[in-house]
Structure 1
Amino acid sequence: MTGEATRGLEFDPIEQARTQWVESGWADAAAGMAAVTSLMRAHQIVLARVEATLKPLGVTFARYEVLMLLWFSKRGSLPMKIIGSRLQVHPTSVTNAVDRLEDAGLVTRSTHPEDRRAYLVALTSTGRELAERATKALNTEVFEQPGLSGRDLRTLVDVLTRLRRSAGDF
């Protein structure tokens, strides 16, 4: 990446786009466009920080989420269907993540003892150790320093919760 791409701009391109939306006769959509575009850019920024933190540990955020879901489960294992439901992702995404985690020796997969059509995914001791190291790194490098005040964080979570609820997320 060149220095130009990593240096901040001298203006806010999203605010400029909002102004151009208004000037183009789309004033009713301008605030929504700015909000959605800001959310998408914030996602890129946060995901880049998270992935940079996890990369040295050899795990993506999607796989980390699976590890932590298993880590928090009472038995250290869950059916694949439950993993997909809790993470709100397509079964193919769960299969892909579990395949990679299994190849790395971080989880095991076996036939569910009560439903032979289902698979049970279990955290290995190596997976548990990696989940703990990754959580420590994310807490230190990302979650404890998100770039917002405590009050702003509460407001952001409240607003995003309302957005998610209105979209039928829960």
Structure 2
Amino acid sequence: MPPESDHRLFFLLQRAAHNLRLTADRRCLAAAGVTTAQLGALFAVQDQPGLTQQQLARTLGLHQSAVTSLVGRLTAAGLLVRSAHPQQHRAVVLELTDAGTAALRSAGPEMDRFNTEVRDLLGDDGFAQASAMLHKLALWPS
């Protein structure tokens, strides 16, 4: 039976998320020069052509101000470009640059290795169960 401290689910989730984020960020920075948050934004822009900053905020579950800062850093790094939206006066469309596409390509093998290590740690069944449970928690209407 796990120690009593293991019953503090929220604390354990926070601690696990922090550990995973630090490890993945370190690896992504080394492989592609981007953090996992930046990588998530780049993947969203790649997956949804014509994505606006507002749509990116919804996709990532972040406040508009956080996305404005994130997009600013990605633009300054030459990984994204902003262009005027064809129909919405105040909106901008986000597009990957060649450098952004290269960063995604560079990060891919490292993220695959990371996921393989987590799968090896949890086992195939544990990985699938953890993924399904975390998905439910992420979509839980609080």
TM range (shorter): 0.7 to 0.9
Q: Which has the higher helix share?
A: 2
Tell me which residue corresponds to 2:86: 113
* 1:152-167 correspondence to structure 2 within 5 Å: 152-165=126-139, 167=140
Tell me which residue corresponds to 1:82: 55
The percentage of aligned residue pairs carrying the same residue is 23
Let me know the Cα RMSD of the aligned residues. Answer: 1.8
Q: Deviations over 1:47-103 (max 9, x none)?
A: 121011012232111111111111222x3x411111111111111111111101100
SS in 1 for 2:117: coil
**TM-score, normalising length: structure 1:** 0.74
* Alignment gaps of 5+ in structure 2: none
TM-superposed deviation, 1:159 = 1.9
SS in 1 for 2:88: coil
* Alignment gaps of 5+ in structure 1: 1-11, 19-30
TM-superposed deviation, 1:113 = 1.1
Q: Which has the higher contact order (CA 8 A, sep 6+)?
A: 2
SS in 2 for 1:105: coil
Distance 1:125 1:65 in 2: 17
| 2:25–2:36 Cα contact (<8 Å) kept | yes
Counterpart residue identity of residue 143, structure 1: N
Q: How many residues align?
A: 138
Tell me which residue corresponds to 1:144: 116
Tell me which residue corresponds to 1:134: 107
Tell me which residue corresponds to 2:16: 42
Distance 1:152 1:107 in 2: 36
